[in-house]
Amino acid sequence: MLTKLKAKVQSAIKAQASIAHKVGLTPNMVSFTGAAQAFLAAFAYTLGREQLPWAVLLLLLSGYCDMLDGAIARLHHKVTLFGGFLDSLLDRYADSAIYTGIILGGFCTIPWGLMALIGSLLVSYARARGEAANIKMESVGLAERPERIIILAAASIAEIYLMNAIETAIIAIAILTHITVLQRSLHVRGTLKGGKTKDNL
């Protein structure tokens, strides 16, 4: 849903992308930085409520890097197949770390946490499999990665003042991600049935 908005934001950070490029940062370096910030955010979650401000900050910085690496790649013609593969792989590690940190920090019950984690991974897997069949998957579904980061960040801020806000968000993500998987599955089925792929859209 927010992929179109993400594209607009990426356009707005072209200046930052140019600066990053001038100082020698590559898209892959930014991707690794974002993953590292996600792992630090996960660690902050494991430390409990006192570290939630750090968890939120690091989570948002990780999301920012996820936009910045793509902006650098497009603006300076550094888009590569391996770069896309690496970015996607690091995003999955980042997602896994964040949900694990939330579970270990006691912010949600284990079953709901695992459901949210599995759903998040399957949303990405469904996109990868669809795109492997030359089907356009961008913007398909309710809970893409930007939505999940925003939900978690907002809930983490709310958790500072309101108990169980993160658990509520995790439950919502668990439900929405599996709905998204269903939406993407139906999209792939309908596209293949209609004979419409990227090659002939």
**Active centre residues (catalytic):** 91
Based on C-alpha coordinates, what's the Rg of the chain? 17
